[in-house]
Amino acid sequence: MKTMTKKPEILAPAGTLEKLKVAIRYGADAVYIGGNRFGLRSRAGNFSYDEMKEGVDFAKHHHAKVYVAANMVTHEGDEEGAGEFFRTLRDIGINAVIVSDPALIEICAIEAEGLPIHLSTQASATNYETLNFWHQEGLERVVLAREVSMEEIKEIRQNTDVEIEAFIHGAMCISYSGRCTLSNHMSNRDANRGGCSQSCRWKYDLFEIPRPGEQTSVLAGDPVEDFSMSAVDMSMIRHIPDLVENGVDSLKIEGRMKSIHYVSTVSNVYRKAIDTYCRDPENYVFKQEWENELWKVAQRELASGFYYGTPTENEQLFGKRRKIPAYAFIGQVLEYNAETQIATIQQRNNFGVGDVVEFYGPGFTHAYQTIEQLWDETDVPIERAPKAMMIVKMKVNTPVKPFDIMRKKK
Q: Which of 308, 310, 290, 306 is nearest to 298 (CA)?
A: 290
- b/e burial code for range 54-89 (CB count within 10 A of at least 16 → b): bbbebbeeeebbbbbbbbbbbeeebbeebeebbbbb
Mean pLDDT of the chain: 91
**In whole angstroms, how large is the CA radius of gyration of the chain?**
23
d(CA 360, CA 111): 45
Does residue 406 or residue 223 have the better pLDDT? 406
Q: Report the pLDDT value the prediction gives residue 211, as an integer from 0 to 100.
A: 87
pLDDT-based confidence at 78, cuts 50/70/90? confident
Q: Answer whether 71's CB lies under 8 Å from 98's CB.
A: yes
Quickly list DSSP for 372-400: --EEETTS-EESEE-STT-EEEEE-SS--
Q: What secondary structure letter does DSSP report for 7?
A: P
Is the pLDDT at 363 greater than 90? The verdict is yes
pTM of the model: 0.92
Does residue 118 or residue 204 have the better pLDDT? 118
Please give the domain boundaries of the chain with CATH numbers for all domains.
Answer: 9-172+231-315 (3.20.20.70), 182-217 (no CATH), 327-409 (2.40.30.10)
- Contact partners, residue 21, CB within 8 Å, separation at least 6: 55, 58
Is the pLDDT at 45 greater than 70? The verdict is no
Q: What percent of the chain has pLDDT over 70?
A: 93
Q: Which of 250, 331, 332, 261 is nearest to 294 (CA)?
A: 261
d(CA 17, CA 319): 39
pLDDT digits (tens, 9 = 90+) for 267-298: 999 999 999 999 999 999 999 999 999 999 99
Q: What secondary structure letter does DSSP report for 159?
A: T
Q: Answer whether 205's CB lies under 8 Å from 219's CB.
A: yes
Q: Answer whether 32's CB lies under 8 Å from 49's CB.
A: no
pLDDT digits (tens, 9 = 90+) for 157-216: 999 999 999 999 999 988 887 778 888 888 888 766 667 778 877 888 788 888 888 888
Q: Answer whether 252's CB lies under 8 Å from 143's CB.
A: yes
Q: Report the pLDDT value the prediction gives residue 66, as an integer from 0 to 100.
A: 98
Bridge pairing between strands 365-370 and 356-361:
antiparallel
d(CA 304, CA 231): 11
Is the pLDDT at 8 greater than 60? The verdict is yes
Q: Report the pLDDT value the prediction gives residue 314, as an integer from 0 to 100.
A: 83
Is the pLDDT at 3 greater than 70? The verdict is no
Is the pLDDT at 38 greater than 90? The verdict is no
H/E stretch holding 288: helix 288-295
pLDDT-based confidence at 142, cuts 50/70/90? very high
Does residue 43 or residue 227 have the better pLDDT? 227
pLDDT-based confidence at 225, cuts 50/70/90? low
pLDDT digits (tens, 9 = 90+) for 16-36: 999 999 999 999 999 999 988
Coil, helix or strand at residue 348: coil
Mean pLDDT confidence for 86-114:
97
